[in-house]
A and B are shown apart, each in its own frame.
Chain A
Amino acid sequence: MEKSVADTIRDITRDHLEQNNGLLFAQCITAVGWIQNTVPPHAPGLVELPMADVSGPGFAIGAAIMGRRPIFVLRFQSFLWLAVSPLVNYAAKARDIWGKGVPIFIRAIASEGNGTGPVHSGCYHNLFMHMPGTLVCAPMTPNEYHEVWNAFMQQDGPILVSEHRRSYLSSAEMPDLVRNDADVTLYPISASRFSTLEAIPILEKMNIRCNVVHILWLKPFQLNARVMDPLKRSGCGLVIDPAFEIAGASQSLAYDLMLATRRPVKALGQEDRSPGVANRLENGTPTPQRIVEAAVQLVRNKTTAPSTPP
């Protein structure tokens, strides 16, 4: 049977705990199936944290300084707002200040919908993009998770792994889709990669052909040929993120892409309002419908835009 993302995380974690003398810090580790089946039950090195959400990351940072390369797990990204201070102020700056980094693998799980509302929904990887010193990524496939883990083991700083519950049961890899006749290039991040794949057939029925360039690394975001060439050819782009749009990953990446290619690139993320629990008030990852609307608008603007500046 193919391994899902959750299986992959669990296996990597087990190896790290059993073979590397690693540690894993989290609250309520046994709950809800050992954190959605991502933690190996009763493995050595599991540290049950008290509900001290500001100190918790500090404990992990101390262990990282002592060489244990801890995994620090947050069941909901909304708790990042409490955990972020020691992580970005201490762990992320340590290499610059003292010449020695603090390697800590921060697993922050995003979720949304189903009544989670303002409390337990949300995706906040941009908090770490804003501050220097942390690698930021959002793996959604088993191979991507391995890539991220290997990157972590080869360097000595903190890494923010922005996970999303929607990926846990998936075992599929998600290769880029690039074609020569594309009208628009889509750059989806995290769970929006699943929504984007649902939007593509709808767009195709409307005669809009799409490239899809999947974004794994948010920081550093590498402007290489793989990322830029499809955009140059298709003429416009759309960066899609499950997080808030304003000052978020989608706007940041869109800005970089636009400057580098001189093609219009739009950002699409959560609307600028708190999500509510009632279905009518949800505000999560852009839906396929919102993606379709944004792509149609971009393509339409492209065809109506004057060919030379006025």
Chain B
Amino acid sequence: MSAPSTRPASRSADHGALPGLAELCPSDLSLEMFRRMCRARHFDEQAFLASRNGWLQSLVYLSVGQESIAAAISTVMGGAWIFTQHRGHAAYLSFGGDIEKLIDELIGLPTGCCRGMGGSPCIHDPNIRMIGHEGLIAEHVPIAVGAAYASPDSPVVCFFGDGAVEEDYFFGALGFAATHNLKVLFVCEDNDLSVLTPTSDRRSWEIHEVARSFGIRAVDVADDPWLVHHHVSELSRRLPAFLNCRTCRCYWHVGAGQDGPPEWDRFNIVKQQLAGLGLENAAATIEAESKAEIERLWKSRLQTPSAT
């Protein structure tokens, strides 16, 4: 196998940073992005505990550490069709998915968002225009592109990982979107890992450069929500476009466990930044309310007679 992996220079918490963005952002938008991050974070922390306690019937793919990307994009592209990969909790919750339906899905109830069939990796909810993933990585990318072709007036946001972009059919999808000028925002949640294998052990090229070679506008930045918001506001005006977003998965690839501290945890960085903007109290209130609400929902769903 290849030499031990080295982290690319572009992999840092401030990659692509544009100073002053947070300061320029209206407070209510900053807090809304944080509220969506909290929703995903607190949901997954509860899912983590439930998994540890053996209460889940699904394998679970946690978004913890990566919440800021979907949180920021959803504030720009609400109403778009959404396609996610197996790690889809944060996107589902940021775009307004029903918390109870996802809990039910994880604990195997018929009232879950896939009736207990798909579990964590297959979230599907037509109410928020979210189309389910079956489990083969990147399989949904050509499907998202086909949806954009067939429905040219509705933009599509397609999330996937840095591993998925290596799939053969991923390139076919990029090419078709470029050829037909389709309204797709491709979003790579680049946590530098496919299961446990770092990118440098798998490939020598960058996906945003591949996208550019197809004539697709592409940016490569860290998962700072203000930065993501800024670029997506810009990119979404002229699709197709590609966003590669450097981020960190805090927990195991699948299941509830941790191998070590993440390179960075955007959630904590954002909290500090909000404090620096004088929004500490408002953020603390949002966090406390979100946590209490989500804990209450988990508790109540776990008490339904057919749970576990």
The residues of A with any CB-CB pair to B shorter than 8 Å are: 27-32, 42, 46-55, 78-79, 81-82, 114-120, 274, 276-281
Chain A residues in 8 Å Cβ range of B166: 50-52
Contact of B168 among A55, A114, A120, A274 (CB under 8 A): A55
Chain B residues in 8 Å Cβ range of A30: 196-197
- Identify 13 new A-B residue pairs, CB closer than 8 A, beyond the known A27-B195, A279-B57: A28-B194, A29-B1, A48-B201, A51-B138, A51-B163, A51-B194, A51-B202, A52-B167, A116-B59, A119-B59, A119-B121, A277-B58, A278-B57
Q: Are B163 and A281 in contact (CB under 8 A)?
A: no
Q: Are A53 and B167 in contact (CB under 8 A)?
A: yes
CA distance A226 to B121 in the complex (A): 46
Listed A/B pairs (21) with beta-carbon separation below 8 Å: A28-B196, A29-B197, A31-B197, A31-B253, A48-B2, A49-B202, A50-B202, A55-B168, A115-B57, A117-B58, A117-B118, A120-B135, A276-B118, A277-B116, A277-B117, A277-B119, A278-B58, A278-B116, A279-B57, A280-B116, A281-B116
Q: Are A54 and B119 in contact (CB under 8 A)?
A: no
8 interchain residue pairs of minimum CB distance: A119-B135, A278-B108, A278-B116, A277-B119, A276-B117, A50-B166, A51-B166, A54-B168
CA distance A78 to B134 in the complex (A): 11
Complex interface residues of chain B between 255 and 276 (CB less than 8 A to chain A): none
CA distance A115 to B253 in the complex (A): 15
CA distance A48 to B202 in the complex (A): 7
Chain A residues in 8 Å Cβ range of B237: none
Chain B residues in 8 Å Cβ range of A119: 59, 86, 118-119, 121-122, 134-136
Q: Are B1 and A281 in contact (CB under 8 A)?
A: no
Q: A27-B194, A54-B169, A276-B118 are in contact. Are A115 and B56 (CB under 8 A)?
A: yes
Main secondary structure of the interface of B (DSSP, over half): loop
Q: Are B119 and A31 in contact (CB under 8 A)?
A: no
CA distance A293 to B195 in the complex (A): 41
Q: Which residue of B lies closest to A277 (CB)?
A: B119
Q: Are A47 and B1 in contact (CB under 8 A)?
A: yes
B263 CB, nearest partner CB in chain A, Å: 19
Q: Are B1 and A53 in contact (CB under 8 A)?
A: no
Q: A53-B167, A54-B168, A55-B168 are in contact. Are A115 and B118 (CB under 8 A)?
A: no
A155 CB, nearest partner CB in chain B, Å: 29
Q: A277-B58, A277-B59, A277-B116 are in contact. Are A118 and B122 (CB under 8 A)?
A: yes
Chain A residues in 8 Å Cβ range of B109: 278
B137 at interface, CB cutoff 8 A: yes
B47 CB, nearest partner CB in chain A, Å: 13
Chain A residues in 8 Å Cβ range of B169: 54
Q: Which residue of B lies closest to A119 (CB)?
A: B135
Please report the total number of B residues contacting A with Cβ < 8 Å.
Answer: 36
B248 at interface, CB cutoff 8 A: no
Q: A27-B194, A46-B1, A276-B118 are in contact. Are A118 and B108 (CB under 8 A)?
A: no
Chain B residues in 8 Å Cβ range of A82: 136
A188 CB, nearest partner CB in chain B, Å: 27
B7 at interface, CB cutoff 8 A: no
B77 at interface, CB cutoff 8 A: no
Q: Which residue of B lies closest to A82 (CB)?
A: B136
Q: A47-B1, A281-B117 are in contact. Are A115 and B58 (CB under 8 A)?
A: yes
Q: What 1/0 mask marks residues of chain B from 216 to 237 whose CB sits below 8 Å from any chain A CB?
A: 0000000000000000000000
CA distance A54 to B109 in the complex (A): 35
Chain A residues in 8 Å Cβ range of B108: 277-281
Chain B residues in 8 Å Cβ range of A53: 136, 167-168
B107 CB, nearest partner CB in chain A, Å: 8
Chain B residues in 8 Å Cβ range of A32: 195-196
B164 at interface, CB cutoff 8 A: yes
CA distance A271 to B58 in the complex (A): 21
CA distance A51 to B198 in the complex (A): 12
Chain A residues in 8 Å Cβ range of B137: 51
CA distance A278 to B56 in the complex (A): 9
Q: Which residue of A lies closest to B308 (CB)?
A: A279
Chain A residues in 8 Å Cβ range of B201: 48
A20 CB, nearest partner CB in chain B, Å: 18
Q: Which residue of A lies closest to B164 (CB)?
A: A51
Chain B residues in 8 Å Cβ range of A120: 59, 135
Chain A residues in 8 Å Cβ range of B197: 27-31, 48
Interface hub of B56, B118, B164 (most chain A Cβ within 10 A): B118
B174 CB, nearest partner CB in chain A, Å: 14
A275 CB, nearest partner CB in chain B, Å: 9
Interface hub of A46, A278, A280 (most chain B Cβ within 10 A): A278
Interface hub of A48, A78, A117, A276 (most chain B Cβ within 10 A): A117
Q: Which residue of A lies closest to B51 (CB)?
A: A115
Contact of A31 among B1, B2, B167, B196 (CB under 8 A): B196
Chain A residues in 8 Å Cβ range of B112: 278
CA distance A120 to B118 in the complex (A): 11
CA distance A120 to B164 in the complex (A): 16
B175 CB, nearest partner CB in chain A, Å: 15
Q: Which residue of A lies closest to B119 (CB)?
A: A277
Contact of A118 among B1, B117, B196 (CB under 8 A): B117
Q: Are B118 and A118 in contact (CB under 8 A)?
A: yes
B268 CB, nearest partner CB in chain A, Å: 28
